[in-house]
Amino acid sequence: MNAAREALLLPVMFLTVTLAGGLSLGPPVSFSPPPLFALILAALLVAALFRSGVLVPAGLVDASRGPLANVNGAVVIVTLFAASAQAFHLLTPAAGLPLLLFDGFLLVLLLNTLVTYPDRIELLRSLMVIFGSAFVLKFVILAALSDPTGGRLKRLLLLAVEGATLGTLTQDPLPPAAGYIAFFTLLLFLIAVWALAPPPQRHTANWRLKIED
């Protein structure tokens, strides 16, 4: 990894995710720190990134590197953890039954990812699926269910859903910009995680050697 990417680009991207992940447009506008469960999910994600080879701690902090390079590497790891926690915080609903379901869903998916020992590409794909599906569930489906505006039929359906779930499913309505901010925040996080990974090995050269043998 080159110095500019390690010292500046990756930490700034992760810190931006950390900042935007806790933003709640309200009103009033507020910035909320991640809940405890998001820290657990973040720890699992960092572990999965490590096992799959996306995160190589020895490439970031090692006795063979200089002190300044080691500090830069440590900053990358710390900011990755903070951004992961805020990304999960962003993806989970604020309260009620959906919060419980989402936390369980994310925990099971991450544990599954961890034990299947995916390689770098598989993990990045898996991460895209996890984040993408959680985003759609929270910001499209759940947001539509919790939107108080709409026609009479929609209001009746919402009332039925709320009655059937004893009011535990619907959430506070999200401001229109919330979904856009969340989308770009998660996209930035995925790009940063992708940029974190070491460049893929060139299997094609080995192939050619084997064929020639």
Partner 1 sequence: MREPIVRAAGLAVVVAYAGLIVWVYARQPQTLAQVTGGLASSVGAYHVDAQSFADGIRFFRRGQFMEARAAFERADPAQRDARTQFYIAYACYREGWGHFYNDRRLLARGLEAVDRAIALAPNGRLVVEDDPDLQMRSADELKAELQRGMQRDPNPLHVFRSRK
Q: Which residues make beta-bridge pairs with 30?
A: 24
Of 72, 84, 92, 146, the residue at the interface with partner 1 (CB under 8 A) is 72
> Is the Cβ of residue 5 or residue 120 nearer to partner 1 in the bound state?
5
Of 58, 71, 100, 157, the residue at the interface with partner 1 (CB under 8 A) is 71
CA–CA gap between residue 44 and residue 92 (Å, rounded): 16
> Is the Cβ of residue 44 or residue 85 nearer to partner 1 in the bound state?
85
- SS3 labels along 11-38: HHHHHHHHHHHCEECCCCCEECCCCHHH
Angle, alpha carbons 36-140-98 (nearest 5°): 40
- Of 2-10, 93-101, 115-123, 150-158, the segment contacting partner 1 by CB under 8 A is 2-10
> Is the Cβ of residue 31 or residue 183 nearer to partner 1 in the bound state?
31
* Coil, strand or helix at 30: strand
Residue type, 10: L
Q: How far is the CA of 62 from the CAs of 49, 54, 68, 70, 196, in angstroms?
A: 18, 17, 11, 7, 17
Residues within window 15-44 making contact with partner 1, judged by CB under 8 A: 15, 18-19, 22, 28-31, 33
Placement of tokens 């506070």 in the chain: 172
Tokens of 2: 């080159």
Q: How far is the CB of 102 from partner 1 (least distance, A)?
A: 23
Tokens of 9: 């680009």
- Of 1-9, 111-119, 196-204, 205-213, the segment contacting partner 1 by CB under 8 A is 1-9
> Is the Cβ of residue 30 or residue 168 nearer to partner 1 in the bound state?
30
CA nearest neighbour of 83 among 20, 137, 3: 20
> Is the Cβ of residue 33 or residue 167 nearer to partner 1 in the bound state?
33
Residue 12 in contact with partner 1, rule: CB under 8 A: yes
> Is the Cβ of residue 72 or residue 84 nearer to partner 1 in the bound state?
72
Applying CB under 8 A, the residues found at the interface with partner 1 are: 3-4, 6-8, 11-12, 15, 18-19, 22, 28-31, 33, 66, 68-69, 71-72, 75, 79
